Structure 1
Amino acid sequence: MIALVDCNNFYASCERVFQPKLENKPIVVLSNNDGCVIARSNEAKALGIKMGAPAFKMQSIFDRYAVHVFSSNFALYGDLSNRVMNILTESVPAIEIYSIDEAFLDLEGVMKPRQFSIDLRAKVKQWTGIPVSVGIAPTKTLAKVANHVAKKYKKEGVFVMKSSKTINEVLKYIPVDELWGVGRQYAKFLMERGFHTAHDLAHGSESWIKRNMTVNGLRMVKELKGISCYTIECETARKKNICTSRSFGIEAKELHELKEAIATYANTCAIKLRKEKSLAHSICVFVRTNPFKESAKQYNASQKAMLAVPTNDGMEITKQALAVLERLYKKGFNYKKAGVIVGDIVPDYSRQLSFFYQQDILRRQRVMNSLDYINTTMGRDKVRLAIQGFDRKWRLKQEKLSPCYTTRFTDMLQVNLDQ
């Protein structure tokens, strides 16, 4: 049996962990620059607030119903996600971390999967404060369906789909557009041909499914029938590229502003490479104006460059990124977004040390390790490259950012034991 553990309204739940007064209150979390709604509590959903809705259009609802609005705090969300995943990893023989708030668990050998999941759910809640739902079934696709049902059982939060009878009954109430792997276009295509529910699809012609939905569609249908086609993938595939990009809170006009941003993004890419024990052999920089300002002059450009040797050295990657930016920059434009992509990624053990540069590479590697240690223990960006700047006006607008309770010493909650 396979279990899918899904954190309930994850971003909103993270905001509640350290602010219990928000329990049962409507919460929304906004995207970069506080632009759109990217997460909602159940109470906010009940008010009709839609995913992706522009924040300024929702302001009247926010005010009328006292909705608690937060800027996205990815440092907090990422740390709490790691804590949840660590608990899950210690509890089962195999786990596939599917996203920041979802994981598939291998329940092979678990004698009582339902009770095990109830206990695991309680443990995650007690240790992290994050509520989760657990769906259990013979296949990944059915586990997704079971999790969908589990969310409706709020008290227990666990649902098991094991017998053919239970599976068939549940599939009758699952619309095809809610199935894992069925996008908007496929859903429309299927409904036009009489497939309205997962049950309809599970009992359709396999040859027709394969012909019209490729082998992936056929695998999905087999999984709906209880035939496992997707195993638990314990090892995370190495990323082909890593991108760091942001929209600016205030449009950047001058080259020095873009340099600060690109240097910051390049260094972030390097940090991610080192965390994954990887090296990059290429770098791409892009800049663009605001496409939604039709009255403004538009400019959108990108350029790729190869690095002399694969590296995760933040100083070297930043140097090359700035050289590319110099070639891209054109004066007279208001830049809204920029980014850095490092690609052609290889594992760091494949590094080939040049006879001429071996000592320099090893020395710089020690410098990077020292920077990582300082910034991990003392706080993010405590030590950074001077080119990253200090008065970074272009930075994200995050006017409603909650404290980084678990990743920044100055934001830790204080408990007064004298009262």
Structure 2
Amino acid sequence: MGAPLFKIRNLVEEHNIAVCSSNYALYGDISERVMSVLGSNAPGHEIYSIDECFLDLDRLAVADLTEWCRDLRQTTLQWTGIPVSVGVGPTKILAKLANRLAKKSAKAGGVLDLVHHPNWIETALRKTPIGDVWGVGRRWSAMLEERGIRTAHDLANAQDGWVRQRMGIVGLRTVHELRGLVCHALEDQPPPKQTTCCSRTFGTAIFDKGQVHDAVMSFAERAAEKVRHAGQVAGAVQLFVRTDPFAQDMPQKSISGSATFHRPTSDTRDITAAVLRIFERIWRDGYGWRKAGVLLLDLTAPGAAPASLFDVMEAPDDGLMQAIDRINDRYGRGTARLGLAQKDAEWRMRRENLSPSFTTRWGDIPAAKMG
């Protein structure tokens, strides 16, 4: 759980708590390094999130799987400096359940193997609250607890008909996975994204239309870059802007709008033009805007959408976008842009406590002097 810094300022000062601003470039780079180490040591792997990865161990020929997992933890720590926990199970849900217990148990030492110790599964199920089961959301958790199902063990022993009636096929698959039946296969190649988003919370409430305009144009540009790097095109775009829900002394407002492209595109010019039209249509004066974002929707591979008359009339010109991407890939993001917002713009996030980007910025690498 998280909380706005201003709400816990007294605790920070009382206990001398270290405060670090978000450093997404550093987090992303470290995550890639960890995933690379994990993936290179297993026959197959699926990157589930920035800090979670599934490994396929079925084809792994080792005498002692627990010891192999401990060696993997040590290798990851040595090569990246990041401690990890390893949970082994016959299904994805049991593996996540084992991972949760491996983190919390000093006795486990960061590794819990439920495959070669199946007698531990029942104990693990009993120790896992229903709200901590992967796939059980808040709504289901509240409903299940009202009916006396408070642990993963309770859910695993629920009747299939009752589960399907109240939780659908998705809930039934969760129950089957808790029983050791594989319902979620490892995805070595995850399905292409259907949407991508670029959003930010501003450093302070922004009333000026021009500053919010600069922000959303920057977000549109970044979203377009992400889509191109994924080898996709977008069929639609959505823009949202909202005030600070924690500033109860200020007027509250949330505005949004969307547009559809007549031809799916990843061209920054098309996307920023559409966002500008939406922005002019939905803008409202008199509010202190605190967050905005641009979502690109209906993502597909280029050429996947059916051709239309517009495709003949307006053939896409990708040369400029390719040139910009090559320059930015070589010299760093933001080197070449269609329109550059001020680097000291007020809408940028407040990052007074930003940690150094040791792995992605030459100037942040500590210097060692000899002699």
Give the TM-score, by structure 2 length: 0.90
CA–CA separation in structure 2 for the residues paired with 1:324 and 1:208: 47
Q: Hey, what does 2:323 align to over in structure 1?
A: 370
- Is 1:61 the counterpart of 2:14? The answer is no
**CA offsets 1:199-226 (integer angstroms, 9 cap, x no match):** 2222232222222222222222221221
Q: Hey, what does 1:118 align to over in structure 2?
A: 70
**Cα drift, residue 154 of structure 1:** 7.4
**Cα drift, residue 336 of structure 1:** 2.2
**Cα drift, residue 98 of structure 1:** 0.9
Q: Hey, what does 1:319 align to over in structure 2?
A: 273
- Is 1:140 the counterpart of 2:140? The answer is no
Report the CA distance shift for 1:195/1:280 in structure 2 as closer, same or farther (over 3 A).
Answer: same
Amino acid at match of 2:349: L
**Cα drift, residue 101 of structure 1:** 0.3
Q: Once the two structures are aligned, what percentage of the paired residues are identical?
A: 39
**Cα drift, residue 71 of structure 1:** 0.7
- In the TM superposition, 1:185-204 aligns within 5 A as 185-204=139-158
CA–CA separation in structure 2 for the residues paired with 1:177 and 1:101: 20
- Find the residue that maps to 2:39 and give its secondary structure: helix
**CA offsets 1:288-308 (integer angstroms, 9 cap, x no match):** 333444554444322212224
**Cα drift, residue 140 of structure 1:** 0.8
- Find the residue that maps to 1:68 and give its secondary structure: coil
CA–CA separation in structure 2 for the residues paired with 1:314 and 1:390: 20
- Find the residue that maps to 1:149 and give its secondary structure: helix
- Find the residue that maps to 2:284 and give its secondary structure: coil
Q: Hey, what does 1:250 align to over in structure 2?
A: 204
Report the CA distance shift for 1:77/1:258 in structure 2 as closer, same or farther (over 3 A).
Answer: same
Q: Hey, what does 2:333 align to over in structure 1?
A: 380
**Cα drift, residue 126 of structure 1:** 1.3
Q: Hey, what does 1:74 align to over in structure 2?
A: 24
- Find the residue that maps to 1:271 and give its secondary structure: helix
CA–CA separation in structure 2 for the residues paired with 1:409 and 1:369: 26
CA contact (8 A) 2:237 2:258 kept: yes
- Find the residue that maps to 1:172 and give its secondary structure: helix
Report the CA distance shift for 1:193/1:318 in structure 2 as closer, same or farther (over 3 A).
Answer: same
Q: Hey, what does 1:330 align to over in structure 2?
A: 284
- Is 1:341 the counterpart of 2:295? The answer is yes
Give the TM-score, by structure 1 length: 0.80
- Find the residue that maps to 2:127 and give its secondary structure: coil
CA contact (8 A) 1:137 1:146 kept: yes
Q: Hey, what does 1:175 align to over in structure 2?
A: 129
CA–CA separation in structure 2 for the residues paired with 1:139 and 1:171: 13
Moved more, 83-92 or 100-109: 83-92
CA contact (8 A) 1:379 1:407 kept: no
- Find the residue that maps to 1:111 and give its secondary structure: coil
CA–CA separation in structure 1 for the residues paired with 2:129 and 2:320: 55
Q: Hey, what does 1:400 align to over in structure 2?
A: 353
CA contact (8 A) 2:238 2:295 kept: yes
Q: Hey, what does 2:51 align to over in structure 1?
A: 101
Report the CA distance shift for 1:136/1:401 in structure 2 as closer, same or farther (over 3 A).
Answer: same
Moved more, 189-198 or 136-145: 189-198
- Is 1:85 the counterpart of 2:35? The answer is yes
Question: When the two structures are aligned, how many residues end up with a matched partner?
Answer: 364
Q: Hey, what does 2:102 align to over in structure 1?
A: 150
Amino acid at match of 2:352: E
Amino acid at match of 2:144: L
Q: Hey, what does 1:277 align to over in structure 2?
A: 231
Q: Hey, what does 1:412 align to over in structure 2?
A: 365
Report the CA distance shift for 1:378/1:357 in structure 2 as closer, same or farther (over 3 A).
Answer: same
CA contact (8 A) 2:102 2:108 kept: no
For the aligned residue pairs, the C-alpha RMSD in angstroms reads 2.2
Report the CA distance shift for 1:400/1:214 in structure 2 as closer, same or farther (over 3 A).
Answer: same
Gaps of 5+ in 2: none
CA–CA separation in structure 2 for the residues paired with 1:345 and 1:253: 33
Amino acid at match of 1:144: K
- Find the residue that maps to 2:85 and give its secondary structure: strand
CA–CA separation in structure 2 for the residues paired with 1:150 and 1:408: 34
CA–CA separation in structure 2 for the residues paired with 1:206 and 1:212: 10
**Cα drift, residue 367 of structure 1:** 2.4
